[in-house]
Amino acid sequence: PVHCGWSSWTAWTPCDQTCGTGLHERFRSPNNPPASNGGQLCVGFSRQVETCVLTQCPVDGNWSPWTTWTECSQSCVGGSRYRQRTCDSPAPEYGGLTLNVTSPPSPEECPPGMEYVGEESCGTTCPRTCAELSSQVMCTSECLDGCRCPHGKLLQDEVCIDPAECRCYYEGREYDIGAVIKVEPCQNCTCIQGNMVCSQDPCPGRSCGWSHWTPWSDCSVTCSNGTQYRYRTCSNPPPPEGCQGDAEEHTSCDAGPCVYDGNWSPWSPWTSCSKTCDMGFTARHRECNNPPPSNGGAYCVGLGSEAKTCTLEECPVPQCENITGSFFDECGPSCPRSCEDIEHCYWSCEPGCYCPEGLVLNENRTACVQPAECYCLDVETDKRYPPGATIQKNCNECVCQNGRFECTDEPCPIDGDWCPWTNWMGCTRTCGFSMQHRYRTCSCPEPAHGGAMCQGTQTTAMGIGIQKEMSSCDVPTLCPTDGHWSPWSTWSGCQECVPGSETRTRTCTNPPPENNGQPCQGTSTQSRTCHLDPVEYKTCVGGKVYQTCPQQCPRTCGDLQDGVTCETTACVPDCGCPEGQVDLGGVCVLLSG
């Protein structure tokens, strides 16, 4: 009897991963020699599988969430606050990309419309951005190398613009040009050239009692669209009848796009068995697109394809003379033994017709051929292609060579697509005309590897395309206008010789009350008593003259005597001595005489 002996092991197959840890395998055949004439069968396994450890996969760096804003550095106008983030979620490792926004660009890297300025020629640095026009934003004068807008231009949304086009930053929010907000019951602020200009007119009448609004709260979510709140109290001071208006306001806020990790699609159906009898293999695949990773999310974990054996009924014993170049063997050589075995092979000891070393059975098992003559199987479509055929898999080209597809391994371009629109923002007024805006980002997914930017992109920030829409707010009513008095008219004048009064008037037209505004407080008419002359003048003698209000003390020579007190009388029209003279026995004499 001839006992079975194993052939030498084949070389290890390539690792099924390009980095990290994967699997590879090798095979041997029980044909060196095969057992015959009652000899013992080979003991052991025809297939070995081991892990293969390659270099660590690159890990690209990603930003941590922003920290909360620090406390303001000042208790009133002119302070600043900060927040920060770090590139450690995860940190870049093994050659992965680093998110670096701190190193200054070289002169040739400045975006269009900006110019490189070195530290030695920086000059005056403030303001550099539209936000720094605000009295609530502190602009530091530190001068560093980097890209700057040309003189007379300021940076907004990564674009250099004229100051007159700048939006305004006020109380932690941004407002469009011309936007008007009410900060007190009788005080409005208007966005003009990047700064909020507020009226200083005092409230007419009493104080309404509201305190100042608190700062806006943090956004209620950490990504996507949420809500912010602010509050005030009726305590400044509390009027008896209470305050008119709301003690709470809310507005929408956008906390940036959410990070989505990739998730596998469902598995495809298993392909048909690669053989029509005995043992073959079948495969299935899946895609990391349910959803695809976006905004820095992680790629799917696991394999995108699986294969397993499929065992059918035994093949009929072939007549080897009918298969060109084959010979009969009780067990068969090591893998591959046929064109079907080149891509995936599961060895087993089977009697049959086999080819000499270096040749394999063709697809219809009629002849031994070179592997270069074998068709290639695309496991995703379950189709076979002739030698030299080229197919496209995503953006890579695959050529049928030696019974298997050899594919390029280039990263495929990913075209950008728009994320959902944010909620409308900016309608803080309850009446009158104002504008609202919303925006969306080209990051669902973000363009990668040369993929196209979303159509309609208006500007970019940190390389992400942004599109913005503006619309008038749907406010149903006009704002109420409280009435104010016009200036008083001149007095009407008195009628001669008739006792009475004179009047003056004013009207509630400066402006008049409109749209349920409050009417003017107070009266529209004032009056006062007239002081009249007598109807007929007296005939004055002794040098006296008629006066509407004769001279007061002293009036006579007697008023000049010691011990005499001269009393001032009411002003009554009568005859009296001219100024500088006094009455002496009915005749006016000089006071000095």
Terminal C-alpha separation, the chain: 178
Return the pLDDT at 400. Answer: 93
CA angle 183, 188, 194 (to 5 degrees): 95
Average pLDDT of 382-395?
A: 88
CA distance 489 to 525: 10
Give the pLDDT of residue 476.
62
Taking only the tens place, the pLDDT of each residue in 270-308 is 888 877 777 777 888 888 888 888 777 888 888 887 878
Please give the model's pTM, rounded to 2 decimal places: 0.34
Query: Taking 50 as the threshold, does the pLDDT of residue 43 lie above it?
Result: yes
Q: How many CB atoms lie within 10 A of CB 152?
A: 8
Six-digit token pair at 31?
Answer: 């044909």
Q: Environment class of residue 283 by beta-carbon count within 10 Å: exposed (0-12), middle (13-18) or buried (19+)? A: buried
Q: For residue 202, what pLDDT is reported?
A: 53
Residues 6+ apart with CB under 8 A from 189: 170, 180, 181, 182, 183, 196, 197, 198, 199
pLDDT at 130 over 80: yes
pLDDT value, residue 389: 94
Written as six digits, the tokens of 239 are: 């009027």
**Those residues with Cβ within 8 angstroms of residue 275's Cβ, 6 or more apart along the chain or in another chain:** 310, 312, 340
58-115: pLDDT as tens digits: 777 787 776 775 665 545 434 445 567 777 777 887 776 665 544 444 555 567 777 7
| Top-confidence residue, 320 or 344 | 320
Query: Can you give the length of the chain in residues?
Result: 593
Between 500 and 508, whose confidence is greater? 508
What mean pLDDT, rounded, does the chain reach?
78
From residue 366, how far is each of 312, 325, 339, 491 by CA, in Å? 20, 9, 12, 127
Note the pLDDT of residue 514.
Answer: 84
Give 189's strand partners: 181, 198
The predicted model gives 402-431 an average pLDDT of 82
Residue ranges and CATH numbers for the domains of the chain are 1-61 (2.20.100.10), 115-197 (no CATH), 278-407 (2.10.25.10)
Give the residue with greater pLDDT, 248 vs 187. Answer: 248
Residue 274, number of CB atoms within 10 A of its CB: 25
Where is pLDDT greater, at 592 or 189?
189
Share of the chain above pLDDT 90, in %: 5
Average pLDDT over residues 478-505: 77
pLDDT over threshold 80, residue 204: no
Would you place residue 1 in the very low, low, confident or very high pLDDT band (cuts 50, 70, 90)? confident
Q: Which of these ranges, 147-156, 161-170, 204-213, 425-434, has the smallest mean pLDDT?
A: 204-213
> Residue 262 and residue 297: Cα distance in Å, rounded?
7
pLDDT for residue 144 is more than 70 = no
